Amino acid sequence: MSAERFSYTPSRPRRPFLRGCLIMVLVLGGVFVLLGVVSRMDGFFFLRGEKVGVLTISGLIIDSEATIEQLKKFARDDSVKAIVVRLNTPGGGVGPSQEIHEEVRKIRGKKVILASMGALAASGGYYIACGADKIFANPGTITGSIGVLMKFLNVKDLIEKIGVKGFVVKSGSFKDTGSPIREMSPEERKLLQSVIDNVHSQFVNAVAEGRNLPRDAVLAIADGRILSGEQAKELGLIDALGNLEDAVAEAGKMAKIEGEPRVVTLPKKKFSFLDLLREEAKSIIDEKLTQTQIRLDYLAQ
């Protein structure tokens, strides 16, 4: 008999534990990706139907770009039937306040848009609110402060004491108006007052038009005074006393939404560490620059 030859090839050991771990990692990764997508959509995809968009403006108003972009997104979304602008701000720069107010007015002709005041919605905050269809405030909300201001710092006496002298070469007599190293001349003060009076008049006109009030009635209280929500309602500066939920319910009713409105907000912009550093550096530079520049503010003091 011929000897049969047998060959033996060792089989690779099976590793079900490692395979199971790999599958688990892939599944969990897919779940996290899905959750990330859902969080970014913030309900805009899954919450189909008629909605009320809520946009919050808080803190000092120094820029209008992000707020206007959010307002436009709500305006373009056909499922968002009404918008509520939630205000918690003492006001801020004249330019940004006017730009947001103008965007609110544009939307007002296309969709229902209401303003809801939190603890504070004064000066530039009220300027924005008066462009809306209706204004809600709490009884104790601080609002009003219809006025304009410019701030100047003069260190002339201080630098003289420490032996420092400042020199300016300028092309015209008003080019360094507001300089901190010298006294302001009567002509400069008169010029700045005329600018403030003009911008103040713009504020008064915006309130009179937005609130459908006689201009003289607005002018009588446009001296920078703050008002409570109750006082503002008595003067016709707001429409109703109520919180954010009341404003949302009214917005839904005005937009003829059946049942309870679905409230949606836009996702906040995601910042990387480098973005945060860049924004911080920009804010510091802007703050230092504005200390030496003339700036108009709709700001409650």
Chain segment 189-230, per-residue pLDDT in tens: 999 899 999 999 999 999 999 999 999 999 999 999 999 999
Active site residue 81: no
**Residue 268: its pLDDT value, please?**
64
Q: What number of CA atoms fall less than 13 Å from residue 254's CA on the CB side?
A: 20
What are the structure tokens assigned to 111, written together? Answer: 């969709």
Give mean pLDDT, residues 49-71.
92
Give mean pLDDT, residues 264-286.
61
Cβ–Cβ < 8 Å for 299, 91: yes
97, 116, 123, 145: which one is catalytic? 123
**Residue 266: its pLDDT value, please?**
80
11, 42, 66, 100, 128 from 61: Cα distances, Å: 71, 25, 11, 10, 11
**How would residue 85 be classed by pLDDT, with cut points 50, 70 and 90?**
very high
Active site residue 123: yes
Mean pLDDT of the chain: 83
Q: Express as a percent the part of the chain with pLDDT over 90.
A: 56
CATH numeric code, 48-268+275-299: 3.90.226.10
Residue 176: helix, strand or coil by DSSP? coil
**Residue 281: its pLDDT value, please?**
58
pLDDT at 46 over 80: no
pLDDT at 49 over 50: yes
From 276, 271, 253, select the one nearest 114 (Cα to Cα): 253
Per-residue model confidence as pLDDT tens digits over 96-148: 999 999 999 999 989 999 999 999 999 999 999 999 999 999 999 999 999 99
Sign of the CA dihedral running 56, 61, 66, 72: positive
pLDDT at 9 over 70: no
72, 151, 156, 175: which one is catalytic? 175
**How would residue 273 be classed by pLDDT, with cut points 50, 70 and 90?**
low
Listed range (138-147, 163-172, 255-264) with the worst mean pLDDT: 163-172
**Residue 236: its pLDDT value, please?**
97
**How would residue 180 be classed by pLDDT, with cut points 50, 70 and 90?**
confident
| Annotated domain spans of the chain | 48-268+275-299
**Residue 163: its pLDDT value, please?**
80
pLDDT at 277 over 70: no
**How would residue 47 be classed by pLDDT, with cut points 50, 70 and 90?**
very low
